[in-house]
Structure 1
Amino acid sequence: MSYQWPLVAKELFAERYPQMINTGLPAADVDAARAAITDMWADAPGGWVHEWSAVAARYAAAGSHDLSALAYGWARFPTLADEAKRAALAHQTEQYLLAAPGFAVPFRRDVLDLPYQGARTQVPVHVFTPPAATEKGPVLLVSGGVDSWKMDVHGLLTTLCAHTGLLVVAFDIPGTGDSQVPMSPDGAEIVRGLIGHTRTLGSGIVVHVGISMGGHYSARSGLAGEVDAAVVMGGPVEAAFDGGRLTRFGMDGIVGNALGFDRQPSRDDLFGALAAFSLRPLLDQESQAPMLVINGADDVHVPQVDTLVFEGRRDTEVHLLPGTGHCAVTKLPEVLRIISEWLPRTLSALPVGPGTTSR
C-alpha cells in the first residue's frame, strides 16, 4: 500500500542538500539535478525520480556503480509511493551489489526468513565483516531511518566497521526499503528475530545501533533488555509521537506510507497510529541494557526531551550536541568518537554471556 501526497521538491533539496553532498555525490551533479527538478511525482523530464535516475544511469554507464547506487537512492527517495520509485529501488540494489567488490570491507547480502504475527516474512540484511572482526567478537545490529535505508547509510556502516573493528549487520526497519510489512510497534517481533540471528554470528553479544526511526527500535530493544547494549541516534521515543510534530519536510507523508496507509490519512488517523509507538511503558520499567543516547540540540523532527528523558537512568550515557540537528549528522566525527569510546568501555563491563543484561 502506498500513496503520493503534496510535496515540494525545492523544500526537500533545502533540507537534504548537505546529506546528498556528505554521502559522496559530486556537488555539481546535485546542483544540476536541483536545477532540473520541478515536480516531485512526475515520471517525466523535470520529475524527481526521472532526473535522479538519469544521473544514476550516467554513473552506471561509466562504471561508477557506487555513485549510481547513491543517485538511485535519491531517485527512490523519500518513500516507495509509486512504481517509478519501486523501480528506482530495484536499480539501486542492482548497482549496490555491482559496487560491492570495491567496498572497504568484505560484504554479503543475506535474506532471512523470520517469524511475524504467526507467519513468516523475508528480511534482507547486509553483513560487513572488517578484517579485525573475529568469530568470537560482539556484533553491531544497525537499523536505518524511515527514509534513509541501509544502502543509503553505507558510508556510516563501513565507518562503524573501521572505528569499532566489529562485524555489522544492517537492516531496514518495518515499512521501509526491503521490508515486506508495514511499520508498527509489532515490528519489534522482527527485531527480536534479527537479534536472535545476530547472536549466532559472533560471541552472542549484540549491540543494537539505531539511526533516526531506527533509533526508536534500538531504544525499544535497549529499554526492554533484549540486547546487551544499545545506541540511539536521534530516535523518537515519546514526545515525538505527540500530535502535530511529524509534519515538516513531508515527514507526515513519509511516515504515513511507512505505516501502510493507501491514501493520505487525516491528522487524527496518522497521530492515532503513531501514539502506539510511545515507549513510555518501557521507560517506566527497569529492565534496560546499557544505553548511549545521542542527538543534535537543533533537531526539527525529534524534540530534545526524547533525548533528555534518558538522563539519570542507570547504565545510560546521554549527549545532546549543540549546533547540529537530526541525528547530529553534521557532527558525525564527534558522534563516532563518542560511540568508539563508549562501546569498548561498555562491552568490557558486561556480565559474561549474551543477554545477561535482561532483568
Structure 2
Amino acid sequence: MSYQWPMAAQDLFAERYPQMLNLGLPQRDVDAVRAAVEHMWADEPGGWVYEWSARAAAYAGARRHDLAYLAYGWAKFPSLADAAKLTALARQTEQYQLAAPGFPVPFDRRVLNLPHRGALTPVTVHLLGPAGGPVLIASGGLDSWKMDLHPLLVRLALDGGVQVMAFDLPGTGETQVPMTAVGGFELVQGLVEHARSIGNGRVGHFGFSMGGYYAAHSGLTGLVDAAVDLGGPIRDSFTEDNLKKLVFGMADIFGNALGFDHQPQPGELLALLGDYPLDELLAQDRNSPMLVINGADDVHVTQSDTLLFEGRRATDVWLVPDTGHVAASKLPGVVPVIASWLAEHLA
C-alpha cells in the first residue's frame, strides 16, 4: 500500500541539498535538476521523478553507473508512492550492479529469508568489504536506503575495518513487509544471526535516521557488540506534539512506511507508535558500547532523543552544532569519527 500527498518539490531540495552533495553527486548537476523541477508527482517534464531520471539516464549513457544509481535513488525519493517511483528503484538497482565492478571493496548481493511475525520474508542485503572479520549490519532510514548510502557505507568498510551488510528497513526499499517496531526488531535479530555466521562472530549495527532507532535498540538490548545511532528517534520524537511539527513531508514518508494507503492524521500515526518509545530499555543498564550522534538543529528528531544517552556507561554522545538531521551538512567530518569508533570497538 502507498499514497501520494501534497508536497512542494523545492522544499525537498531545501532540506536535502547537503545530503545530495555529500553522498556523491556533482553540485552543478544537482543545481541543474533543482532548476528544472517544478512539481513533485507527475511523471512529465518539470516533475521530480522525470527530471532526476533524465539526469540518471544521461549518466548511464556515459557509463557513469556510479552517478546513475545515485541519481535514480533521488528519482524514487522519498517513497515508492507510484509506478514511476518503482521504475526508478528498479533502474537504480540495475545501475548499482553495473557500477559494482568499480567498487573499491568486494561486493556481493544476496537474498536472505528471515523470520517475520510467524512467517518468512525475503530481505535483500549487500555485502561490502572483505569477509572473515567483524560484520556491521547497516541501514538507512525512511527515505534514504542502502544503495543511496553506498558512499558512506564504503567509507565505514574501508576505515572501520568491517564488512558491511546493508539492508532496507521494513516498509522501505526492497524489503517487502510494512514497518512495525516488533517486526523490525525480529528482522534485525535474523540479520545479526546471519552476520555472526559469516564473519569472526563480532557484529555491530549502524543506523542512519530511522535506522538509528533500530541500531539503538540493538545496542540497548546488547544484541550486538557495538551500535551507532546517527539521527534516530528514540522516545520524545514519537509524541503527538512532535508528529504535528514534522515538516518536509516526513509524516507522510513515515505513513507510507507504516503501510497506510491514505494520508493519515497525527492521531492515526500515533495509534501505531505505542510500541516505539524505548523507555523500558533506557531504564536498564545492559547496553553494548554505543555511539549516538545527531545534528543540533534537527527538525524531525528532538535534541532530547540524543542527549538522553548522556551519562550512560560505554556510550559516547555527540550533538553536532550548526547542522540538521543526521548532521547531513557535516557528514564529511562525522563519517571518519564513526569509522574510527567502529575500528576501536569492533575491529
Distance 2:346 2:127 in 1: 21
2:219 counterpart of 1:225? no
Matched AA of 1:201: I
Q: Which shifted more, 331-340 or 189-198? A: 331-340
Classify the secondary structure of the residue corresponding to 1:115. strand
Q: Which residue of 1 aligns with 2:302?
A: 303
Q: CA deviation at 1:22?
A: 2.1
Q: 2:191 aligns with which of 183, 190, 194?
A: 194
Hey, what's the Cα distance between the residues in 1 that align with 2:237 and 2:334? 22
**CA 1:337–1:102 in 2, change beyond 3 Å: closer, same or farther?**
closer
| Cα displacement (A) at 1:196 | 0.3
| Stretch of structure 1 that moved more, 271-280 or 167-176 | 271-280
Structure 1 residue 244 displacement after superposition:
3.5
Q: How far does residue 228 in structure 1 lie from its aligned partner after superposition? A: 1.2
Q: In structure 2, what is the equivalent of residue 80 of structure 1?
A: 80
Deviation at 1:341, TM superposition (A): 3.7
CA pair 225-73 structure 1, distance change in 2 beyond 3 A = same
Aligned partners of 1:273 and 1:158: how far apart in 2?
34
Report what 1:141 is aligned to.
Answer: 137
State yes or no: 1:26 paired with 2:22: no
Partner SS, residue 206 of structure 2:
strand
Who is 1:262 aligned against? 261
TM-score by length of 1: 0.93
Amino acid at match of 1:281: E
**1:242 Cα offset (Å):** 0.9
Match of 2:175 among 158, 168, 179: 179
Give distance in 1, aligned partners of 2:42 and 2:288: 47
Provide Cα deviations, 1:255-277, integer angstroms capped at 9, x if missing partner: 00000001111110012223421
Secondary structure at 2:309 match in 1: coil
Q: Which amino acid aligns with 2:175?
A: S
Partner of 1:8: 8
Report if aligned partners of 1:143, 1:210 keep a CA contact under 8 Å in 2: yes
Preserved CA contact (<8 Å) 2:22 2:331: no
TM-superposed CA distance for 1:342, in Å, is: 2.8
Displacement, 1:202?
A: 1.0
Cα distance in 1 for residues equivalent to 2:302 and 2:48? 30
Report the Cα offset of residue 125 of structure 1.
0.4
Aligned-pair CA distance for 1:37:
1.4
Superimposed CA distance per residue, residues 129-184 of structure 1 (whole angstroms, 9 cap, x where no aligned partner): 14xxx61x211111111110000001101111121121111111111101111111
Cα offsets for 1:263-296 (capped at 9, x unmatched) = 1111100122234211112112223211111111
Partner of 2:203: 206
Q: How does 1:319-334 map to 2 (within 5 A)?
A: 319-334=318-333
Equivalenced residues, count:
344
TM-superposed CA distance for 1:17, in Å, is 1.4
Q: Structure 2 vs 1, CA of residues 312 and 73 (structure 1 numbering), >3 Å: closer, same or farther? A: same
Query: Secondary structure of 1:199's match?
Result: helix
Please list the CA deviations of residues 274-329 of structure 1 after superposition, one character each: whole Å capped at 9, or x if unmatched: 34211112112223211111111111111111011111112111111212221123
Could you tell me how far 1:24 is from its partner in structure 2?
2.1
The higher-RCO structure (CA 8 Å, 6+ apart) is 2
Q: Which residue of 2 aligns with 1:167?
A: 163
Amino acid in structure 2 at the alignment position of 1:206: V
Deviation string, structure 1 residues 18-59 (Cα, Å, up to 9, x no partner): 222222222222222112211101011111111111111111
Structure 1 contact 129–161 (Cα < 8 Å) conserved = yes
Deviates more, 1:276-285 or 1:333-342: 333-342
CA distance in 2, matches of 1:314, 1:22: 32
* Equivalent pair of 2:135/2:163 in contact (CA under 8 Å): yes
- Cα drift, residue 347 of structure 1: 3.9
CA distance in 1, matches of 2:25, 2:331: 17
CA contact (8 A) 1:295 1:307 kept: yes
Residue 37 of structure 2 corresponds to: 37
Distance 1:335 1:21 in 2: 15
Partner of 1:272 in structure 2? 271
- Counterpart Cα distance in 1 of 2:193 and 2:295: 31
How far off is 1:243 after superposition?
A: 1.2
Identify unmatched segments of 5+ residues in structure 1. 349-359
Give the superposed CA RMSD: 1.4
The one-letter code matched in structure 2 to 1:216 is: Y
Following superposition, the deviation at residue 330 of structure 1 comes to 2.3
Letter in 2 for 1:322: P
- What amino acid is aligned across from residue 229 of structure 1 in structure 2? A
1:216 aligns with 2:213: yes
Q: Aligned partners of 2:260, 2:232: CA distance in 1, in Å?
A: 22
2 CA distance for matches of 1:303 and 1:165?
32
Moved runs in structure 1, 4+ residues, more than 6 A?
A: none
Match of residue 239 from structure 1: 236
Alpha-carbon distance in structure 1 between the residues aligned to 2:346 and 2:325: 27
**Structure 2 equivalent of residue 155 of structure 1:** 151
- What amino acid does structure 2 have at the position aligned with 1:39? H
Q: Which amino acid aligns with 1:329?
A: A
Structure 2: which amino acid aligns with 1:346? H
Q: Which range moves more in the overlay, 39-48 or 145-154?
A: 39-48
Identity of aligned residues (%): 61
Deviating more after overlay: 30-39 vs 212-221: 30-39
Q: Is the Cα contact below 8 Å between 2:160 and 2:340 reproduced in 1?
A: no
- Is the CA contact (8 Å cut-off) linking 1:163 and 1:336 kept in structure 2? no
